[in-house]
Amino acid sequence: MSEAEARPTNFIRQIVDEDLASGKHTSIHTRFPPEPNGYLHIGHAKSICLNFGLANDYQGQCNLRFDDTNPVKEDIEFVESIKHDVEWLGFRWSGDIRYSSDYFAQLYQYAAELITKGLAYVDELSPKQICEYRGSLTEPGKDSPYRGRSVEENLALFEKMRRGEFAEGTACLRAKIDMASAFIVMRDPVLYRIKFAEHHQTGNKWCIYPMYDFTHCISDALEGITHSLCTLEFQDNRRLYDWVLDNITIPCHPRQYEFSRLNLEYAIMSKRKLNQLVTEKHVKGWDDPRMPTLSGLRRRGYTAAAIRDFCQRIGVTKQANNVEIVALESCIRDDLNENAPRAMAVLEPVKVIIENMGTVEEMLTMPNHPNKLEMGSREVPFSREIYIDRADFREEANKQYKRLVLGKEVRLRNAYVIKAERAEKDAVGKIKTIFCSYDARTLSRDPADGRKVKGVIHWVSAAHALPAEIRLYDRLFSVPNPEAADFFATINPGSLVIKHGFVEPSLAAAQPEKAYQFEREGYFCADSGCSSADHLVFNRTVSLRDTWAKIGA
């Protein structure tokens, strides 16, 4: 099978294939046009993988263009974060980064051309009045009293807008199309509005800024885009996209194609609502590991490969649906199960003293991955005092419990078989110390007399254990579709649980965002925001299994 045959197909790829076969296009040119008013999220990853993936697979080009037409909500911080996210996902844009603001002078001239053709006018209705005049889905709109102004008057007023001689909200430029159109987007949409705000690229050069629908299609045409891909909510806007290009003097006319946006269970994809979570301090920033932003997922330990795999698995269709979050979690589990080295950590420590062991410490050799010898091994210290997880010991238990029980044996991972002899409790009856014996002949081998030891638990040497803050992250919302309700009311109170435990000494130099499987606990990575050699902080990426399925969530 050829490489082309092995690629997953979809309706957009079929369109591209047909366009190339018919000679309509000889090469493919796409673009990814984010608005720099927030951080990218997992939904944007779908668009990135689609646009850059098409360019890569068809040996074409893909531009990164910032739709920077609203300086009030935009910031250079968002520009830098978006650039980093695209590169982190494994893609590189063609040529220099583009900005819609690069075309402000040309956009102004195209707006003037529409005025000259009698297809645009300066309106002095207030924003509220414009909304009222626009009508509804069942009632047509009505003409603005300023709609009949002459070309000369409109050109003069538009220039007056540009010079800053109107206050914000007192004038705008509108297209003159059809106030009775069945499509509200075609009822004389606003093309330019006034904003006295400093722009992160153009400074204070402009005080009028073009609207997205006017800017987007012209930017595509100026850049020679062949396939302009966007999500389904812009389907009706395609009529305005074509209307603008049909009515200005521009040689290129790209085509817009829509696909379904990514809606992910237990998450919200609205940048406005994500911004609310940040500004109202429900989370600790755009890169909070509970956020669906790419920076948040990266900080949590998600890999670029897992996200690309997820985008490939869900595919590209026109059908709107909610993707189960278990699909995303499955991708990262599959990736980390293969590629994450193993380590040991104890999240709820209780001390074990092996009474028949001397004070001599041992260094035990452990594989970094049980199925990949090429990943090497590490030396882990073992001593008579160790920590095990509190959940791994019971004074009494049934046969289904395969861990340490008073009077019975269990194996320590990659070490010895131990037997619990007695336990010491504190004043409130909580287990304080477990006293054990060990079989010195069972290092990585079964007992010589043939007795069976079924359970295996993890541990760390008490003398060498490194204290660590371990953050157990879970889904931010407790319901599958938080956007359908008061999403603040559905925030999961257990979305972050902090444990103070111990990790093995090999993790002292853990690099931020590098994933490890903590044996029997899940996949974790050192936090890129605050973990250091003096204060280790690990974030749980995902549990070893889908624990929500067990509780019927």
Q: What angle do CA 107, 109, 112 make, to 5 degrees?
A: 115
Q: What single string gives the DSSP state of each residue in 73-119? A: T--HHHHHHHHHHHHHTT---SSSPEEGGGGHHHHHHHHHHHHHTT-
Beta-bridge mates of residue 524: 516, 540
Neighbours of 76 (CB within 10 A): 10
Cα(221)–Cα(70) distance, integer angstroms: 21
Residue 320 amino acid letter: A
Tokens matching residue 190: 């606003």
Return the HEC string of 269-296: CCHHHHHHHHHCCCCCCCCCCCCCEHHH
Cα 346–chain centre separation: 29
Q: Is 281 exposed, middle or buried, given 0-12, 13-18 or 19+ CB atoms closer than 10 A?
A: exposed
Catalytic center residues: 35, 261, 271
* Torsion region of 183: left, alpha or beta (phi above 0 gives left; psi -120 to 50 gives alpha): beta
| CA proximity to 164, closest of 107, 207, 121 | 207
Q: What one-character-per-residue DSSP string does 21-85 give?
A: HHTS-SS-EEEE---SSS--BHHHHHHHHHHHHHHHHTT-EEEEEE----TTT--HHHHHHHHHH
CA distance 474 to 254: 43
Using DSSP's 3-state secondary structure scheme, residue 256 falls into strand
Cβ 55 vs Cβ 29: under 8 Å: yes
Instruction: Work out whether the CA dihedral 129, 134, 136, 138 comes out positive or negative.
Output: positive
CA 167 to chain centre: 39
Residue 312 CA to residue 11 CA, distance in Å, equals: 14
Q: Which residue shows structure tokens 């204060």?
A: 535
DSSP 477-532: BSSS-GGGS-GGGGB-TTSEEEEEEEE-GGGGGPPBT-EEEETTTEEEEE-TTT--
**What contacts 371, CB < 8 A, 6 or more positions away?**
none
The pairing of strands 466-473 and 496-503 is antiparallel
Quick one: which of 269, 520, 224 has its CA closest to 392?
Answer: 520
